């Protein structure tokens, strides 16, 4: 993802982060273990990626690519 692409999508990322954080808090308030809420979020993300790509295996590959992108951004920010 280029810096320009990231700048364009950043407000959407921030909105999704707030929504996911709120959902996580609500699940924990209902007695769900934090790690279980996080795992559920990953499965939900996979469901969305599967709908986008039409294939659950392709969705996993896309998720790996997305995590690699996040890692590169984090590492670049450290330097």
pLDDT in tens, 7-56: 899 999 999 999 999 999 999 999 999 999 999 999 999 999 999 999 99
Tokens standing for residue 14: 């921030």
pTM for the model stands at: 0.81
Q: Give the rounded distance of the alpha carbon of 15 from its chain centre.
A: 12
Q: What is the 3-state secondary structure (H, E, C) of the chain?
A: CCHHHHHHHHHHHHHHHHHHHHHHHHHHHCCCCHHHHHHHHHHHHHHHHHHHHCCHHHHHHHHHHHHHHHHHHHHHHHC
> Count of domains in the chain?
1
Domain that holds residue 70: 3-78
Q: Quickly state the pLDDT bin for 1 (edges 50, 70, 90).
A: low
CB within 8 A of 73, min separation 6: which ones?
A: 1, 6
């Amino acid at each position: 993802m280029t810096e320009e692409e990231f700048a364009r999508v950043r407000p959407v990322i921030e909105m999704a982060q707030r929504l996911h954080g709120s959902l996580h808090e609500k699940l924990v308030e209902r007695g769900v273990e934090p790690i279980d809420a996080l795992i559920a979020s990953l499965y939900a993300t996979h469901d969305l990626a599967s709908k986008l790509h039409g294939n659950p295996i392709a969705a996993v590959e896309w998720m790996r690519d997305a995590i690699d992108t996040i890692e590169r951004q984090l590492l670049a920010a450290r330097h």
